[in-house]
Amino acid sequence: MSTRFDAIGLVVTDMAAAVAFYRRLGFAFPDDAGEQPHAEADAGGGVRLLLDTEETVRSFHPGWRAPEGGGRASLALRCDTPGEVDALYDSLVGDGYRGELKPWDAFWGQRYAVVLDPDGNGVDLFAPLSATAE
């Protein structure tokens, strides 16, 4: 048996809102992705980000229910510099997205922050503290 990591899939309430959020983070979804029940974007390194509406998931898994409470998974996106973590966090929060953890210098050597996507999934933004602006 041989497996390889291929994709991360998220179930979304509002496809247009989810696509808009992830486009802000650099994911190149097709032009009509916001109107589709399923959308995919290249996440780099041979991995894809998959978005499916709740209705799509229920079409093949009728008993599926959205989880309640806090998230158990997050996406982690590396920025080039600590300043980019701050700027991206501020830009997203300024545009109305929810900030869960303001940027800080983490003890493990990263500038680190967390924003939430429209469905409450955590998106970690980080950069090595040793990275400098170019």
Mean pLDDT over 25-35 rounds to 97
Mean pLDDT over 100-114 rounds to 96
- How many residues in total does the chain contain? 134
* pLDDT over 60 at 92, yes or no: yes
- The amino acid present at 119, given as its one-letter code, is D
Q: Map tokens 């309430």 to a residue.
A: 13
Distance from C-alpha of 16 to C-alpha of 19, rounded to nearest angstrom: 5
> In the predicted model, what is the mean pLDDT of the chain?
93
CA quadruple 33, 34, 38, 43: dihedral, nearest 10: 60
The pLDDT-based confidence of 133 (bands split at 50, 70, 90) is low
Q: Is 127 exposed, middle or buried (0-12, 13-18, 19+ CB in 10 A)?
A: buried
pLDDT digits over 31-52, tens only?
999 999 999 999 999 999 999 9
* pLDDT over 70 at 134, yes or no: no
Distance from C-alpha of 71 to C-alpha of 32, rounded to nearest angstrom: 28
pLDDT digits over 61-86, tens only?
999 998 887 677 889 999 999 999 99
Q: What is the model's pLDDT at position 67? A: 84
